[in-house]
Amino acid sequence: MRLLHDRQLVPGRDVSLVSFCMDEIAQSYARPVTNVSPRPRAVSSAAMRLLFERLEGVDQAPRLELVAPEGLVRRVTTTLF
């Protein structure tokens, strides 16, 4: 946002801006930012579940567990060209 401001570009008018951040942060700007949320609660829950499995002695092979980001939340910083 600062870089766009320094170049006198307005998000949603001159360029589209999409952020990878939590909804609360995206909404905190004067011009609410279009964003995709990394879902910190879902990531924390998955990590805690895996931790408790290990603490309880569940013997499993290492694995990769992904948490999909939530969908795009369109706000004023994107435009359809």
- The model's pTM: 0.66
Q: Which residues pair with 73 in a beta bridge?
A: 35
Q: What stretch of H or E contains 48? A: helix 40-55
pLDDT at res. 14: 92
**Per-residue pLDDT tens over the stretch 7-66:** 999 999 999 999 999 999 999 998 899 999 988 899 999 999 989 988 998 888 888 888
Please, what's the b/e burial string for 56-66 (b: 16 or more CB within 10 A of its CB; e: otherwise)?
eeeeeeeeeee
Q: Is the pLDDT of residue 6 over 70?
A: yes
- Cβ atoms of 25 and 7 within 8 Å: the answer is no
